[in-house]
């Protein structure tokens, strides 16, 4: 009898070991299939958003365009060089322009080159106004870039801190919900015990309060999910990306309230919208002045050299037959 019991027990051990091993492997597989969310700090979120923001890249491209326009305006002060070359095939010719004999069977190359240099001397303010307008255009685009950059930073901080604040409120609501649950259980027990200082109306008030807190908790959970997805989208992350914020607590900020005048003065100095408006107005004022200066004559110094050659043609000695010798 004893040996039979021992045989049955030894036979069940492998089955329990196999079951334990199966559960262990399943747990490991689920752990690998559900990795921990990657937690991002506020600095990492800002860096990622500024690097991938299309608005910021568009603003930087506008700055490059305005800079090239400024370089083009400054180049107006430099000499303008024009080089013209002409090549072809011509028939051979003997003699001068008065007694020439053409030979259509004698074909040869023809080369002509011309160099022209024009140096502006005085334009009555046209170049100066064009350069000033282009410079203000660069300042305008730079202010627009700062505006786009500030908008991205403000959006990231708003989503980040809203997510953090909502989670802290959810934790407080969880405590309130727990207190309501305990108070309701205590009230129901005291009501069943028919104590004099508790009524059915008191229990009903506690149930209403608990239902209100539960409703707000569910609403807050949906808001947290939406805010987290909005932050992911602002960062350019895919919808299935594992993402979460690193901070778990709001840090208090010490702030000493200043007079309203100081805030207005600081806004005038640092708001990119105001800088953009001022630079845009300055550029608009410079463009009419440059257009007005275009009605005046421009003084310049010009010179050049030209030459032509055809090996199968005689050189023309007459200044009337050869305009290059005139």
Residues of the chain under the 70 pLDDT cut: 1-37, 95-100, 103, 316-326
Q: Can you give the pLDDT at residue 162?
A: 95
pLDDT in tens, 104-120: 777 888 889 999 999 99
Residue 243 belongs to a domain? yes
Residue 274 belongs to a domain? no
Rounded distance, CA 137 to CA 285, Å?
Answer: 12
Return the CATH number at 139.
1.20.1600.10
Q: Can you give the pLDDT at residue 33?
A: 41
Residue 184 belongs to a domain? yes
Residue 24 belongs to a domain? no
The boundaries of the domain holding residue 202 are 41-249+279-325
Residue 178 belongs to a domain? yes
pLDDT in tens, 284-325: 888 888 888 888 888 889 999 988 888 877 776 666 655 554
Residue 137 belongs to a domain? yes
Task: Provide the percentage of residues in the chain whose pLDDT is more than 90.
Answer: 45
Residue 33 belongs to a domain? no
Rounded distance, CA 238 to CA 326, Å?
Answer: 75
Q: Can you give the pLDDT at residue 211?
A: 94
Q: Can you give the pLDDT at residue 10?
A: 43
Q: Can you give the pLDDT at residue 290?
A: 85
Residue 129 belongs to a domain? yes
Structural domain count, the chain: 1
């Amino acid at each position: 009898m004893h040996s039979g019991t021992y045989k049955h027990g030894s036979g069940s051990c492998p089955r329990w070991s196999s079951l334990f091993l199966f559960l262990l492997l399943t747990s490991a597989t689920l752990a690998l299939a559900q990795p921990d969310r990657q937690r991002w700090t506020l600095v990492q979120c800002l860096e990622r958003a500024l690097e991938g923001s299309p608005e910021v890249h568009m603003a930087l491209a506008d700055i490059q365009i305005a800079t090239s326009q400024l370089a083009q305006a400054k180049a107006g002060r430099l000499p303008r060089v024009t080089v013209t070359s002409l090549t072809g095939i011509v028939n051979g010719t003997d003699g001068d322009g008065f007694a020439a004999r053409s030979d259509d069977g004698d074909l040869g190359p023809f080369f002509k080159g011309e160099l022209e240099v024009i140096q502006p001397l005085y334009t009555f303010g046209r170049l100066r106004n064009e350069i000033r307008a282009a410079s203000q255009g660069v300042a305008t685009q730079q202010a627009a870039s700062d505006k786009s950059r500030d908008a991205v930073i403000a959006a990231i901080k708003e989503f980040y801190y809203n997510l953090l604040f909502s989670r802290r409120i959810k934790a407080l609501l969880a405590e309130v919900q727990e207190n309501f649950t305990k108070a309701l259980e205590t009230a129901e027990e005291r009501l069943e015990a028919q104590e004099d200082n508790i009524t059915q109306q008191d229990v009903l008030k506690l149930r209403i309060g608990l239902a209100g807190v539960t409703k707000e908790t569910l609403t807050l959970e949906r808001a947290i999910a939406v805010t987290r997805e909005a932050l992911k989208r602002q960062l350019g992350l895919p919808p299935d990306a594992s993402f979460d914020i690193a901070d778990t607590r709001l840090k208090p900020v010490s702030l000493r309230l200043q007079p309203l005048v100081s805030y207005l003065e600081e806004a005038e100095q640092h708001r990119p919208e105001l800088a953009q408006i001022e630079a845009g107005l300055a550029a608009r004022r410079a463009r009419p002045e440059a257009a007005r200066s275009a009605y005046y004559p421009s003084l310049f110094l010009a010179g050049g050299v030209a030459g032509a050659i055809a090996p199968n043609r005689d050189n023309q000695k007459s200044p009337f037959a050869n305009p290059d010798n005139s």
